Amino acid sequence: MAGLDAPAAVVVVLTPNAASRTAWVPGLRVPRIEGPPTAQPERVHAMSATPDSKTSKPSKKKSSLDDVVSLAKRRGFVFPSGEIYGGTRSAWDYGPLGVELKENIKRQWWRSVVTSRDDVVGLDSSVILPRQTWVASGHVGVFTDPLTECQQCHKRYRSDHLAEEFEEKKGRAPAGANGGLEEITCPNCGTRGLWTEPRDFNMMLKTYLGPVEDESGLHYLRPETAQGIFVNFANVMGSARKKPPFGIGQIGKSFRNEITPGNFIFRTREFEQMEMEFFVEPGTDETWHQYWIDTRTDWYVDLGIARENLRHYEHPKEKLSHYSTRTVDIEYRFGFSGSEWGELEGIANRTDFDLKTHSSHSGTDLSYFDQGKGERWVPYVIEPAAGLTRSLMAFLIEAYAEDEAPNAKGGIDKRTVLRLDHRLAPVKAAVLPLSRSEDLSPKARDLAAQLRKTWNVDFDDAGAIGRRYRRQDEIGTPFCLTVDFDTLEDQAVTVRSRDTMTQERVSLDQVESYLAGRLLGC
């Protein structure tokens, strides 16, 4: 046997207490709807108290955000953008491991939301849409955030975020004028109540098309992918031969001139969204809305997020967007200072606002004629909108763990490991020759080349074998395959598991089927 690990790991537990929000009330889970819904279930406002079987696993140390950020930068998941020139605030580049993790998340979303269903199709719309699109959608007029400035240090913040963090800490909303700003302390300098009156700040990023920067060439970088779906509703419905209920999914970049970007990759001005617009008959919208809340929550749990680290936040009626009758956020316990919870995904009932407004502004009929009922109606829209990079951040935080493993000297070392779901792991397996030799290295390289036809496989022959195991643990590689001198005799390799550190001998002609059985869905 080639490895030095013990059969199992000892895991340290550190779980922060969850702070509640005033809009958070207990509720019951609703069973998944199969086929078109007919009855409205009870609304869900909380996770089930019964853990899912896939989340029943040994407890682990709850990572700090600093741990994860350090690992992400050190191991090539995320780099500050343009770092050699000082970087751009809250702009990030995704390195070799980061881009693989992103692609795996996108692949799982696309498979779950689009290709595994017969009622959803895909789309890839332009980043730059006609300017009138954003006038019709309301973005030019109302896509704003309330901006306030500390009069002591001149740092600017969203006043609604300041109020939310105050409520999270104090258990009540701030009182007084200007949304209670007189009670709120500046996060930067500590001055209390010295704020400018909030003013609306439009988050659309402008660009100009053509040789002259004048009003005729003014366009906007899209702040969401949804509008590209709405303006293509008739095209897709006709060409794909779909009828409601059906959905259109899209993954792509969006841009928002955020007032206070930050918290690593959580809030950035350039980001990727995974959005789907699901078009339904009016009257069935509330049931479908609940269906997508449940379905999307289950997706995160299935990929390794513990249910106790998720919650639903129901938007108060007075804070709903202009198009929404109900919006529920899926939030994750990121562990931020101020408020440890952050939005992963919003699921909104957008009613018929979008298709009606685009019909009105464009002069194109975007209604649907129901031949079965002999009537025409404008579909309602249910929108699950997820942040790709926020999901990546949540999966990293959830997967990060520290435990203990034996070293070559007979002692115990601390081990950092990313327990990513195998479907998300950037590298599926690593091939490690026991030593860099003329006998072992070529055989190991041949094995790696063969496995790369199916999976992303690493090859590493530098350093002690135990150290190489640690490197692979730290990036979440599920399996290490060690080619040793016994391999030359028995034509077998030692396969070592990331999570249990157990090892078993597998013949070379069985390695591919061995991995295939353990990397299902990858």
Distance CA 202, CA 145 (A): 7
List pLDDT tens digits, range 389-425.
Answer: 999 999 999 999 998 877 767 788 889 999 999 999 9
**Residue 10's pLDDT is what?**
25
The mean pLDDT of 380-391, rounded to a whole number, is 97
List pLDDT tens digits, range 31-61.
Answer: 333 333 333 333 333 443 333 333 333 334 4
Distance CA 467, CA 5 (A): 11
| Tokens standing for residue 511 | 């390695």
Say which residues have a Cβ less than 8 Å from residue 519's Cβ, sequence separation at least 6. Answer: 422, 423, 428, 455, 478
Q: For residues 112-151, b (16+ Cβ closer than 10 Å) or e, as one string?
A: bbbeeeeebbbbebeeebebebbebbebeeebebbbbbbe
Distance CA 162, CA 278 (A): 33
Q: How many CB atoms lie within 10 A of CB 35?
A: 7
**In sequence order, what are the beta bridge partners of 295?**
none
Q: What is the DSSP string of 270-308?
A: EEEEEEEEEEE-TTSHHHHHHHHHHHHHHHHHHTT--GG
List pLDDT tens digits, range 487-499.
Answer: 999 999 999 999 9
Residue 397, CA distances (Å) to 8, 124, 418 in order: 22, 30, 9
**Residue among 41, 57, 52, 96 nearest 74 (CA):** 96
Lowest mean pLDDT among 180-184, 302-306, 322-326: 180-184
The mean pLDDT of 214-243, rounded to a whole number, is 91
List pLDDT tens digits, range 121-135.
Answer: 999 999 988 888 888
| Tokens standing for residue 415 | 């081990």
Q: For residues 338-354, b (16+ Cβ closer than 10 Å) or e, as one string?
A: ebbbbbbbbbbbbbbbb
Write down the architecture of domain 10-30+49-129+223-397 according to CATH: 2-Layer Sandwich (3.30)
List pLDDT tens digits, range 426-442.
Answer: 999 999 999 998 899 99
Distance CA 503, CA 496 (A): 4
pLDDT at 18 over 70: no
**Residue 31's pLDDT is what?**
31
Give the domain ranges of the chain.
10-30+49-129+223-397, 144-200, 427-518
Superfamily of domain 427-518: Anticodon-binding domain (3.40.50.800)
Q: Which residues carry a binding-site annotation? A: 158, 224, 256-258, 266-275, 343-344, 383-390
Q: Are strands 246-255 and 120-122 parallel, antiparallel or unpaired?
A: parallel
Distance CA 201, CA 156 (A): 11
The mean pLDDT of 287-296, rounded to a whole number, is 98
pLDDT band at residue 258, thresholds of 50, 70 and 90?
Answer: confident
**Residue 428's pLDDT is what?**
99
pLDDT at 99 over 60: yes
Whole-model pTM over 0.85: no
**Residue among 317, 115, 140 nearest 220 (CA):** 140
pLDDT at 179 over 90: no
Task: Give the residue, 303 or 411, on which the prediction is more confident.
Answer: 303
Lowest mean pLDDT among 11-25, 327-341, 467-481: 11-25
**Residue 47's pLDDT is what?**
47
pLDDT at 340 over 50: yes
For residue 344, the 8-state DSSP code is E
Mean pLDDT of the chain: 85
Q: Which residues carry a binding-site annotation for substrate? A: 158, 224, 271-275, 383-387
Q: Which residues carry a binding-site annotation for ATP? A: 256-258, 266-271, 343-344, 387-390
